[in-house]
Chain A
Amino acid sequence: MSKPTPAESCSPPSQPAQALPDELHLLVEQHVQYVRSLDTRKDEYEYWLTEHLRLNGLYWGLTAVHLLGQPDALPRREVIDFVFSCVHENGGFGAAPGHDTHMLYTVSAVQIIATLDAFDELEERVDGGRKTVGKFIASLQERDTGTFAGDEWGETDTRFLYGALNALSLLHLLHLVDMDKAVEHIQACENFDGGYGTGPGAESHAGQVFTCLAALSIAGRLDLVDRDRLGGWLSDRQLPNGGLNGRPEKKEDVCYSWWVGSSLAMIDRLHWIDSNKLAKFILQSQDPDRGGITDRPGDMVDVYHTVFGLAGLSLIKHPGLMEVDPV
C-alpha cells in the first residue's frame, strides 16, 4: 500500500466523533457506508479541496471495502473510468483529471487496476498499456543514486522508491529498474537507531521504515536487515494506551498500526507488540455514527485512517476482516 505524506494525511479534526460505548467491536456496516458516502459528497467544499488526493483516496476506499469483505461496495466500472480519466500520454497518472502526473498517483492507479484485475482495460484504454506505465515509473529512477523521484521536478523519497517497485512488480516489469542500485540506496537510508528515513541522513520514521522494508522484500533482500535492532525500535513505538507512534516522543496515531505492524510482520516480529491493546486503541478510534476511523479517539474520521486502521486490525487477525499482505 502506498501512502501520502504523513503530515498531509493527519489533518486536524473539524468535527469530533461521538463517544463510544464500553463494549468494542468492529463496525463493519458503518465503515462500508462511510466509504460509499465519500464519492457522493460532491456538494461539500472539502471534497474539492482534497481533489489532489483523489486517486489515493479511491485506492484506500477500495482497499477498505475489500478488507471488510464487501469488494463490490464501490462500482467497478465507475472506479475504472475514473482511474483512466487521470492518465497522461506519458503513462503517468495524476490525482484527478487535469492534475500533473506523479509517482504516488501512478502507483495508486496500478494498485487499483490490480485490485480490480483491470489489466485488460489497461491495454485497451492506454496506448501501449502496461509497458507505457512501466516505462513512466522506471524513468523516474535516478541512475546515479538508485532512488526515485516523484515527478520531473526531482524530489526524491523512499516512498517513491517503494511505490515504483510495488507497481512494477504488479505490472511484471521489475526488470526495467536498476535493482542493485535501489537496494544500495535503501541501505544508505539506515540510521543509527536502526530505522529508516526519506533519504540518507533523514530521521527514522515508521512510515519510511515500512517503505524501505517493503522495497527490500520485493527485491528479495530482507537479509540485509538487522531484524532484532529494527524490531526493538519498532516495538518501542507502542505507547501504554496501545496505540503506536511514528517517531520517538510523538503522539500515537491509528495509521501507524499499519506502518509499524506490517514492518514488524515483514521481519517476523509482530508479536513484539501487544495486539490486544492495539486492537482496543483502533476500535476506540471508530466513529459509531458516521462510520470510519480517526487518527486517535475523539478526532474526525478520514479514509486514510479508516483503511490503515482496518489493515492494522487485519494484520493482527481481528475477526471480521479479510487477510492482508504486509507488503
Chain B
Amino acid sequence: MSRKPQNKLTPLSEDPKWEDVIPIPQEEGSAHPLASIAYAENYSEAMDYLRAVMATNEMSERVLELTERVIRMNPAHYTVWLYRARTLFTLNHDLYAEIAWLNPTALRHQKNYQIWHHRQTLINALDSADGEIPFLTQMFEKDSKNYHVWSYRQWLVKRFDLWDAGEIESVEELLKKDVRNNSAWNHRWFVVFGRPDTDAFKDEEIVKREIEFAKSQIRLAPQNQSPWSYLRGIIRQASLPLSSLREFAEEFAVFGKMDQVRSSHALALVADIYAEEPNGTAKATLALDMLAIRYDPIRVNYWEYKKKQLPPSSPVAAGT
C-alpha cells in the first residue's frame, strides 16, 4: 500500500481552520494509540474530528474536506459517505464537481459499493445521465463483471430511458472482448426483454434475432454456459418447442457420436429434447449417462436424478 500522500497530510490539530473544534476520541479503545505509523494516526485523528462535527451537525466546506480525507483512507466507511451527501445537498454544492472527484475514487476502489450509491444519489438529483455511460465503459475496462457497476447501469437505463441509447451495442463490444462475460449476457436480456410495457417475446423478429445471436456466440465457445442459458430462456419465455433447437444442439453433441461431444450444455439440451420425443427415453438415458460418467461427472447425482424423471421406455426402445 502506498502511504506517501497520507503521510504528508497536515494534522488537523495544527490546521487553524479546525482550531475551534475539540475532537471527540473513540470511547472504546481510546487509550490505544493505534499502530504508531503516521497513516493510522491521521486516520484516528480525522475520525475524532468527524465525530465532533457530526455531534454538532456541522455542514460546511471544511466538512467536505474532512470527509474526503476519511474516504481517501477508508472508502468503505458508509456513515461518512452519507454525512458527505447530506452536507453536499445542504450547501447546494456543485454536484458536477463532486462527480469529477468521484470518478478517480471509483476507479481506484473497484470493490467499493458506497461510491455507487453516492453516485446514484447525485445523478438522480442532477437529473442528467450525461457522461455516465462513457465513465462506466472506463470502469468495465478494469473489471467487466463488477456487480455494483452493472446494478448502477441498470438503474441508469431505467431512470433515464436509455433502452435504445446504445446498450445492445455496448454489450456486443464487451462480448467481443470476453464472450464468457455472464454480466454482459444478463444486461442484454435486461435491455431486450426487461423493458417495461413491452413484450419482446411476442415480437417474432426480436426473438429470432436473439436466438441467432446466442447461437453465433455459442459457436465461438461451445462450453460457455451463459449463451446456453440465454437460448433456453428465450425458448421457454416465448413458448417455443425445445425441439426447435435440436439441429443446432446436435452440431455439438449428437446421438451416435457420444464420444465426440463438444459441449456438456449441448449434451444436456439434446437429452432434454430426446426425452420429449416418442421413444426417446433410451437416447436420453445414454446422453445423461455420458454426462454423469464422462462430461460432467462432478454432478453425477444431478444427472441420475434427471434420468429418473424420464418417461418410462416404450417396449421397443427398452428391447423387451
Contact = CB atoms under 8 A, between A and B. Distances in A.
B159 to A, nearest CB: 13
Nearest to A234: B302
B186 A204 contact: yes
Contact of A232 (B44, B121, B226, B302): B302
Contacts of B186: 191, 197, 201-204
B35 A43 contact: yes
Most buried by A among B73, B236, B305: B305
A192 B189 contact: yes
A101 B47 CA distance: 18
B77 A192 contact: no
Contact of A271 (B113, B147, B301): B301
B181 A249 contact: yes
B298 A238 contact: yes
B229 interface: yes
Contacts of B190: 201
Contacts of A248: 180, 182, 225-226, 229
A65 interface: no
Interface stretch (A92-100, A114-122, A174-182, A301-309): A92-100
Q: Which range holds the interface residue count of chain B?
A: 35 or more
A203 B298 contact: no
Chain A interface main SS type = loop
B252 interface: no
Given A238-B298, A247-B182, A44 B233 contact: no
A278 B255 CA distance: 33
Interface string B12-37: 00000000000000111100111101
Interface string A203-228: 11100000000000000000000001
B298 A5 contact: no
Most buried by A among B47, B112, B154: B154
Nearest to A202: B151
A122 to B, nearest CB: 21
B78 A52 contact: yes
B140 interface: no
Interface in B156-203: 180-183, 186-187, 189-190, 193-194
A202 B116 CA distance: 15
Interface in B108-136: 111-113, 117, 120-121
Contacts of B85: 153
A55 to B, nearest CB: 12
Contact of A249 (B117, B180, B236, B299): B180
A23 B121 CA distance: 52
A154 B127 CA distance: 17
Interface string B293-320: 0000011111001000100000000000
B304 to A, nearest CB: 10
A279 to B, nearest CB: 14
A7 B40 contact: no
Contact of B82 (A97, A151, A250): A151
A271 B300 CA distance: 10
A6 B151 CA distance: 14
B37 A249 contact: no
B117 to A, nearest CB: 5
B222 to A, nearest CB: 14
Contacts of A198: 147, 151
14 contacts: A8-B112, A43-B35, A44-B35, A45-B35, A49-B43, A50-B76, A192-B193, A193-B230, A201-B194, A203-B147, A203-B150, A205-B147, A274-B299, A277-B298
* A-B residue pairs, 7 tightest by C-beta: A192-B233, A193-B229, A203-B186, A7-B111, A45-B40, A272-B302, A248-B182
